[in-house]
Structure 1
């Protein structure tokens, strides 16, 4: 079973890493692929290059078995559409169930995504939620895909929607960027190796996306 966790990772932090760890353990994933996007489709492009964001991600997960920093969106030209990423993984791993993980904020806008309905052709979608999270009104297309049986995700290659509580950590990349730009120390918000690389490359020293 293969997990997919995408985002800008601008920069990666313990909020990303803890949620990735929890879903990897709960769903007994063979591996989890953290995939930094090259050109976000729904937000301003980060000022820090995709290659540098990938390097920070590689430092953050170095030595962790079953964790992969996947560069396929960086190498693909044009906007980083998740449906294209899932399609490529679906072809590359024909025997694997694929699970796409996303936060509740991202899920609430999922129907604005490029070819969003086709995501379910290639993967299951797991929404990582805070305890007590309640879904709003869902379209019939989404509501029909909901399951509360986690084992079902292992038995089929895609097509279902599952909500899973994770430990809420009030950490965000934007807050970290502001801290660094203000000259504050982001220690304990991200791995030390990532912090060292940020200062080595003089990243996030000024406010920006």
Structure 2
């Protein structure tokens, strides 16, 4: 199968994540989109919700959107989660699958800071979605590689790995940090913007982020 991976802390998962996943499903000719929650993100602070709570919210979303699935691989690993190690592990578990990892332009710009980023590109394709205010600078190693490996969406599966292709992201300026800020400011749960109702109800029941 062809699998798109969308990684993140999902603290909490919101409509922006969901719309990106659905866009990737329709644009990149994948069979499934796997939501890949991080346990210990190397470049971010610890999540506010615990692992069980974040998994519960993801499971609720996947029940409502059955084209999405939860992959808890990183949650079972000890230590920081590095994406290339995750892809190595998934290749061993699912050697029959092909992978495209979804990445914002902000992450692509900073890809040289990722552990073993060149090896990552031997394990999967990269679906790149725009982030306001971010673009690759010319004359950088990432820009050179990106330009020589950029393909249209319909060509991505003609090679085993290493291709970049654009993924058109719906314009939904939502972030988990903004949602947490709304909740920490005691905004009524039903007035918090950017959450699917199933997650909104779960957060209210668990009194999260207050």
The match for 1:68 is: 69
The worse-fitting range, judged by mean Cα deviation, of 57-66 and 106-115 is: 57-66
Q: Secondary structure at the match of 1:87?
A: helix
TM-aligned CA distance change 1:100 to 1:199, over 3 Å = same
What displacement does 1:162 show?
A: 2.1
CA RMSD of aligned residues (A): 2.0
How far apart, in 2, do the equivalents of 1:201 and 1:76 lie? 26
Q: Any conservation in 2 of the 1:15–1:170 contact (CA below 8 Å)? A: yes
Q: Secondary structure at the match of 1:98?
A: strand
**The one of 197, 203, 207 aligned to 1:198:** 203
Alignment gaps of 5+ in structure 2: none
The match for 1:165 is: 168
TM-aligned CA distance change 1:58 to 1:138, over 3 Å = farther
What displacement does 1:148 show?
A: 2.5
Q: Aligned pairs, how many?
A: 205
* Per-residue Cα deviation, 1:180-209 (whole angstroms, up to 9, x for no partner): 11111344511111111112111100xxxx
What displacement does 1:179 show?
A: 0.4
What displacement does 1:173 show?
A: 0.4
What displacement does 1:91 show?
A: 2.2
**The one of 170, 179, 195 aligned to 2:182:** 179
Higher helix proportion, which one? 2
How far apart, in 1, do the equivalents of 2:186 and 2:140 lie? 45
Q: Any conservation in 2 of the 1:83–1:119 contact (CA below 8 Å)? A: yes
* Per-residue Cα deviation, 1:49-85 (whole angstroms, up to 9, x for no partner): 1221111111112143331111111111110111111
**The one of 133, 139, 150 aligned to 2:153:** 150
- If the length of structure 2 is used for normalisation, what is the TM-score? 0.89
Q: Does 1:36 align with 2:37?
A: yes
Q: Secondary structure at the match of 1:122?
A: coil
What displacement does 1:150 show?
A: 2.1
- If the length of structure 1 is used for normalisation, what is the TM-score? 0.90
